[in-house]
Amino acid sequence: MSTGNDPVSFLSNQKDNTFYKLIEKKNGKQQYLSYKRQLKKFHKKVVNWFFYLKFIMFHKSRIYPVILILVVFVVWMFRQNSEKLEKVSFNGETMGTYYNIIYLHPDGTNYKSAVDSLLLIWNQSLSTYITDSEISQFNRNDFIAFKSPYFYPVLLKSRQVYEATKGAFDPTVMPLVNAWGFGPEENEMPDSTRINELIRLVGFDKIMFDENEVRKSMPGMSLDFSAIAKGYGVDVVGEMLENKGIENYLVDIGGEIMCKGINDRGTPWTTGIEDPSVEIFDRKIKAVIEVTDKGIATSGNYRNFYVKDGRKYAHTINPFTGYPVEHSMLSATVVAGDCMTADAYATAFMVLGIEEAIPIVNSHPEMDAYFIFSDNEGTINTFMTEGFRSILKTEN
């Protein structure tokens, strides 16, 4: 019942009021009544939701088991569907290492020949061990126009990680890689004079590129994508599988991995991280993780090195000094949205060392890491991000 003081009564009692006439002309009264009806509906919904919440809280001991049963049923159905897919696996060689591929497919189609063909084309673009590859042609000249779709994306990612790590990841380190004997060219160990000459050719900011071509600002500069190549190759193969409708797969090239979906048991993919503190003939797993929809890459100096005059020289070259890295970091494992990103950051963290790597990985919530390092007494220690801890299954 109207009190005479509410807006509706006020307006109805002011028929001759100019303000009321203006409002009425613009259908103000109808708008007001419409808003009032909407407010009542909203109030009714709030009351209903409050009732539902109160009901759930009162009967939670009965409802929670029902929810649990529903969750178990959904997981069971998901696994039943996955069991209808046939497991396919094959392996081969590429980039001077192995590859291993596993996926689930409705009729078990084997795409090994397609993968091999793709990797041949990819290597023809980015392998420094192929003399007429795109990257080899660039290293011999001042610029090239892109011939394949693979050169430009790796340049973009390289620049991104180069800037994020303030130069720790730098593909222009190629002259130094060759000088230290870790590239396609055989060389004697360089002296300090030679190092000082070559380090002038290092600096990814001296490389200019767009979607069509890449140029170098100084003659003698060259590129080496070995610190990102395997991860990039993993992503390229994974993309090919997805284009064929494959949703559940694992692609592994030389230990750099991309996992998508689930395995044939209906669970996340399981992979191990090698213990870098043991000899090659006594290999063992340091940690096991369960991963899905992520790229994983590990970089370390415990396999690729040589010893001369009693001194160990690791294959990771510090672009700031021109010398192989020497610090307590034994291996760096990175988990990211794609394997190319994980591969690049893993290398950068090996250059930086444990103290500088931790702040960078902590500033990237989309990325997780697991570092194995030794302290001043030689004791092996580990560091892991919270996100990595959530996927860690076992650790030795």
DSSP 315-374: S-B-TTTSSB--SSEEEEEEEESSHHHHHHHHHHHHHH-HHHHHHHHHT-TT-EEEEEEE
**Mean pLDDT score across all residues of the chain:** 83
Helices (H) and strands (E) in the chain, counts: 13, 16
pLDDT at 282 over 90: no
The confidence score (pLDDT) of residue 181 equals 76
> CA-CA distances (angstroms) from residue 385 to 85, 261, 361, 366?
34, 23, 8, 11
- The whole-number average pLDDT for the span 19-40 is 51
Partners of 87 in the β-ladder: 104
Least confident of 17-26, 37-46, 262-271, 300-309: 17-26
The confidence score (pLDDT) of residue 329 equals 87
- The whole-number average pLDDT for the span 134-148 is 95
- The whole-number average pLDDT for the span 2-10 is 41
Per-residue pLDDT of 284-312, as tens digits, reads 899 999 999 999 999 986 665 545 655 55
Per-residue pLDDT of 152-205, as tens digits, reads 999 999 999 999 999 999 999 988 888 877 766 656 677 889 889 999 999 999
Strand bridging mode 294-300 / 329-336: antiparallel
Classify the phi-psi angles of 357: left when phi > 0, otherwise alpha if psi is within -120 to 50, otherwise beta.
alpha
Q: What is the pTM of this model?
A: 0.76
Strand bridging mode 269-274 / 285-291: antiparallel
Identify which has the larger pLDDT, 142 or 316. 142
Residue 28 in tokens? 């103000």
The confidence score (pLDDT) of residue 387 equals 96
pLDDT at 244 over 50: yes
Computed over its alpha carbons, how large is the radius of gyration of the chain? 31
- Residue 318: count of CB within 10 angstroms of its CB: 21
The confidence score (pLDDT) of residue 122 equals 96
Identify which has the larger pLDDT, 107 or 71. 107
CATH of 83-395, one of 3.10.520.10, 3.30.70.20, 2.40.40.20, 3.30.420.40: 3.10.520.10
Residue 11: pLDDT band (50, 70, 90) is very low
